[in-house]
Homo-oligomer: A and B are copies of this chain.
Amino acid sequence: MTNTENKNSKPLKIAGLGRYLPERIIPNSEIEANCDLEEGWCTRKLGISERRWIADENITHMCKQASEEAIKDAHLAKNDIDLIINASNSFDCVVPDQSLQIKKVLGIERENVECFSINCGCMSCLFALDLSSCLLLTDRYKNILVVSALVSSPGLNNKDPMLYSMMGDAAAAMVLTRSSETEKSCLYAARMETYSRATGVGGFSGKSGKKMLFSKNVFSEDFYFEFDSQTMQAEGVKYNRDFFSRLLPLKRNLIKVVIPNQASRLAIDMIKLMFPASRIIRIIDWSGNIGAVGYPMALYEAVKNKLLHRGDLTLLHGMGAGFSIYGILLKY
């Protein structure tokens, strides 16, 4: 299998990876005390042993730390970055956009650095990878920084123990470049599907029902983060079954490493029906559900622990709220 066997294959290389984990570790005992749950509930129900929540870190700071590590890992300097994509649905501020704040804290002075944010929920980092593979085909960009943060802890409600115990805060970053003709790295295939079902399973809504954001008539209760992952999984499972044949007909044993959306134990168990557990990267046990950040974070784990080597075929795959199914086959 070469880069050219699939005509839509694109020369993309993940040149560097970085991450930021908040220092404050929240053990299950703290969750169980806050939610008035019996001991062992979190492990039994969710298979999660701990998660990190921010103390006084803000999102910009988290993105800075992850980006700096990724840029260093790629053996580049900050000023080598041409484009910053903030792939996230967490932000310190909406105007100006988060991506510009990240450029500033990184101390990048060059004026011809482009910045924007993309959001498609937990799939944001996959879309950013996919999009970057198209953008790197043009001569406009050499090095793209994709950075993602999720901070959901300030919006969690201890009256909803499932979500309260499941969500973690984190940031991760990737530096993407165009691979040379002698390198095997590529984005081999990508596919996103969207289904207008289960659009109502998430959001910020409280006592006063769904509200327009950025309105003066808000109450603290409006900012509880709500998400019904079980309803989404139940909706998604029937469409997910044949997704791989639509993504690319390929022998499954060619895939060395599978990186599922670290959304829940259920989401990962669904992948185990199709791939041996030994090939599946699982970080949810210590990260919790960190949304879009889960993909680069799990990639980081796989690479640093030498489970994924240059040229290995890896599948990044999962479902996002709304809902969407995304799959990317990547030769790391």
Q: Write the residues of chain A forming the contact surface with B, with a CB cutoff of 8 angstroms.
A: 8, 58-59, 89-97, 99-101, 103-104, 108-109, 111-121, 124, 127, 131, 134-135, 137-140, 151-152, 154-155, 191-196, 199, 201-204, 210, 212-218, 220, 223-225, 227, 239, 320-324
Contacts and interface: CB of A to CB of B under 8 A. Distances in A.
A93 B210 contact: yes
A103 B155 contact: no
Contacts of A193: 111-112
Contacts of A324: 100, 115
A294 B147 CA distance: 29
B119 A213 contact: no
Nearest to A90: B214
Given A154-B216, A154-B217, A218-B218, 20 more contacts: A90-B214, A94-B119, A95-B202, A95-B227, A97-B322, A100-B120, A100-B323, A104-B199, A109-B196, A111-B239, A114-B192, A114-B194, A116-B124, A117-B118, A131-B135, A137-B138, A152-B214, A154-B215, A155-B214, A218-B220
Nearest to A122: B95
A114 B124 CA distance: 12
B323 A212 contact: no
A193 B225 CA distance: 35
A152 B113 CA distance: 28
A117 B117 CA distance: 8
B218 A92 contact: no
Nearest to A200: B96
Contacts of A155: 214-216
Contacts of A108: 196
A49 B325 CA distance: 47
26 contacts: A59-B212, A89-B97, A90-B214, A92-B210, A93-B202, A93-B203, A94-B204, A95-B121, A95-B203, A96-B203, A97-B119, A97-B121, A100-B194, A100-B324, A101-B199, A103-B194, A111-B195, A113-B194, A115-B322, A119-B119, A134-B134, A134-B138, A137-B138, A151-B212, A154-B216, A215-B223
Contacts of A323: 96, 100
Contacts of A8: 138-140
Contact of A196 (B104, B114, B218, B322): B104
Contacts of A138: 8, 134, 137
A235 to B, nearest CB: 12
Nearest to A198: B96
A203 B195 CA distance: 33
List 8 tightest A-B contacts by C-beta distance, closest first: A96-B322, A100-B322, A104-B196, A154-B215, A116-B120, A96-B321, A95-B202, A111-B193
A285 to B, nearest CB: 23
B224 A216 contact: yes
Contact of A119 (B111, B116, B151): B116
Contacts of A89: 94-95, 97
A115 B111 contact: no
Contacts of A320: 96
Contacts of A120: 97, 99-100, 115-117
